[in-house]
Structure 1
Amino acid sequence: MSTTPTAPVAAGTDWVTVKQKHRAMWAAGDYPAVVRDLITPVGEVLVDACGIEAGQSVLDVAAGTGNAAIPAAVRGAKVVASDLTPELCAEGMREAHRRGVELYWHDADAEDLPYDDGEFDVAFSSVGVMFAPRHQRAADEMLRVIRPGGTFGVLNWTPEGFIGQMFQAMKPFAPVAPAGAMPPPLWGDPAYVEKLLGDRVESVTWERQQLVVTHFATAAEVLDYFKRSYGPTIVTYRHAESQGTAAELDAALLAVMNDHLTVVDGRPTMHWEYLVLTAKRA
């Protein structure tokens, strides 16, 4: 059976520095609050989609603070939660302790996982691996550590949904991406993910769903929250301020946030689209 080769390293890109910047980006602001306030429910969705059961060995790639890893451990799985950013792992440890579950936390790069071939029954990622800059390398690594017949699963923001559109609006104001890095929302396109996986998987299933968010009353509140709490937005604003374009960035993001904020049953509501995709390792 043929396999998809690992993507070549782009000439001239200092990936050590890139990864250091990624760590700093996700440590900026308050991503643990984003998880608590907004995206905790999607972790359970991914755990359900992967059919996690007691006794399975599970790797959560780019786990953040464990919004999928912790529910998997609650079900009795033997979970390793790995992430590039130690600050997020530390917060995940505290949350797991609060919930009375045990799992192993490991600082690790999604593009260079320090695990054996076929070590896990399941490898999944909830809005995490999509931010690894070299998508093919990250997909290759996730598949490598899954045993034959094991489960691959991802839950990612779609290009068409709110988060995807927010990244599109930020792109003209953000630092230039390093050569070889790919836009995160591509992971929300099922055809793109299937191409990354190639013929190394079978029984691929996917579905687009919506995260319902009722945390904000106005678009201005959404903007303020992301400027204060979300690492990618914080880094983009730092660059925009250095270029004198922060006001234009405000306008671009407010337009997206207004488009996605509606009133449902008298309550301001947002719907954030995401893709859930699972497959079996061939």
Structure 2
Amino acid sequence: MHVNASPAAGIRRCRDPAYCERVSDIDWGQGTYETTAADLLPAARELVDAAQLKPGEHVVDVGAGTGNVALLAADLGARVTAVEPAARLREVIQETAGARDLTVVDGTAASIPLRDGSADVILSNFAVIFAPDPAAAIAELSRVAAPTSRILLTSWLPGVMGKLVGVIVGAVREVTGQNPAAGRIDWHDPAALTTLLAPHGYQVTATTLELEVVTPSAESYWDTRIANHPLGVTTFPILEQAGRLDDVRARFLQTLDDNWTDTTGQVRLPAQYLLATATR
């Protein structure tokens, strides 16, 4: 049975709504998400290592993207189900999986097509944090998780990614009048995660880690990480129609230059994130 829970009372809402707001109806299969997936591979490795997987365990990768986590888990002998709503990305995973024990299914964090208690481990690398209803997503993960399971997820800490994405999403919000999603929470806050997970019998521990994204220049970052990213593909037509795209690009590049560009012009983004582990 799929659970449609309302946001839990007492959960602290996101302090950075420009970042936490998700533009409606993004198809993460648009554009070239593969570049971002490559940037996130070090975090995927940390996530899988922290899970301490055992051969034969059933691992569910929620919001699998191009399959970073799912492939790593399968290579360790786990039986893996990759849950991904974007049809193109499901095809990418299937093409890469080869003979691995890896099944790819269509689903979201709040609607996973697996039976109750069937997962030994649930992993999500910067994915479940985009769930429109956090409580519903956690309720669904908990439904699928076995009684002695563990859930591990990563989420961005306030700072680099929030500041950059905020330039774009803030402008879209000004143009469209779209308000931040009411269900957003601070996924990077262990206390907020405890509020979500404790009712399902989980205890939460967390650690702060960092990954670095490097590009030859600010313009290169815009071209390879933003313009053809699903967020860019979705929002650029809105901004261009409103006559705002050139201004947003200029402010984005200036933000990179002012904060993370060295004397050679190279961009080095030190993005901190939380790796949370919930056990029961």
Say whether the fold is shared (TM-score over 0.5): yes
Structure 2: tracts of 5 or more residues without a match: 8-21
CA distance in 2, matches of 1:250, 1:107: 34
1:173 Cα deviation (Å)?
1.8
Question: 1:187 maps to what in 2?
Answer: 187
Inter-CA distance 220–106: structure 2 relative to 1 (3 Å threshold): same
CA distance in 2, matches of 1:176, 1:157: 25
Is 1:34 the counterpart of 2:33 in the alignment? no
CA distance in 1, matches of 2:101, 2:143: 25
1:179 Cα deviation (Å)?
7.9
1:59 Cα deviation (Å)?
0.6
1:247 Cα deviation (Å)?
2.1
Counterpart amino acid of residue 197 in structure 1: L
CA distance in 1, matches of 2:84, 2:171: 27
Counterpart amino acid of residue 63 in structure 1: A
Residue identity over aligned pairs, in percent, reads 28
Q: Which structure 1 residue ranges, 4+ long, deviate > 6 Å from structure 2?
A: 264-267
Question: 1:11 maps to what in 2?
Answer: none
CA distance in 1, matches of 2:178, 2:137: 17
CA distance in 2, matches of 1:169, 1:186: 19
Contact kept in structure 2, 1:173 and 1:239, CA below 8 Å: no
CA distance in 2, matches of 1:66, 1:232: 19
Question: 1:102 maps to what in 2?
Answer: 101
Listed as ranges, the matches of 1:3-18 within 5 Å are 6-7=5-6
CA distance in 1, matches of 2:267, 2:29: 29
Listed as ranges, the matches of 1:72-151 within 5 Å are 72-97=73-98, 101-151=100-150
1:137 Cα deviation (Å)?
1.2
Inter-CA distance 138–259: structure 2 relative to 1 (3 Å threshold): farther
Structure 1: tracts of 5 or more residues without a match: 9-17
Inter-CA distance 176–124: structure 2 relative to 1 (3 Å threshold): farther
1:127 Cα deviation (Å)?
1.1
CA distance in 1, matches of 2:165, 2:265: 29
CA distance in 2, matches of 1:110, 1:186: 17
Listed as ranges, the matches of 1:1-282 within 5 Å are 6-7=5-6, 21-22=25-26, 24=27, 26-36=28-38, 38-97=39-98, 101-158=100-157, 160-174=158-172, 175=176, 177=178, 182-183=183-184, 186-214=186-214, 216-263=215-262, 268-281=267-280
Question: 2:17 maps to what in 1?
Answer: none
Contact kept in structure 1, 2:217 and 2:265, CA below 8 Å: no
1:83 Cα deviation (Å)?
0.7
Contact kept in structure 2, 1:117 and 1:147, CA below 8 Å: yes
Inter-CA distance 106–5: structure 2 relative to 1 (3 Å threshold): closer
Counterpart amino acid of residue 212 in structure 1: E
CA deviation map 1:143-199 (0-9, x unaligned) = 1111112101101222x132222222222222555785545x832333322222233
Inter-CA distance 104–176: structure 2 relative to 1 (3 Å threshold): farther
- Per the normalisation by structure 1, the TM-score is 0.82
Contact kept in structure 1, 2:119 and 2:146, CA below 8 Å: yes
CA distance in 2, matches of 1:182, 1:50: 28
1:131 Cα deviation (Å)?
1.7
Inter-CA distance 153–259: structure 2 relative to 1 (3 Å threshold): farther
Inter-CA distance 68–181: structure 2 relative to 1 (3 Å threshold): farther
Q: What CA RMSD, in Å, does the superposition of the two structures yield over aligned residues?
A: 2.8
- Matched residues, number: 261
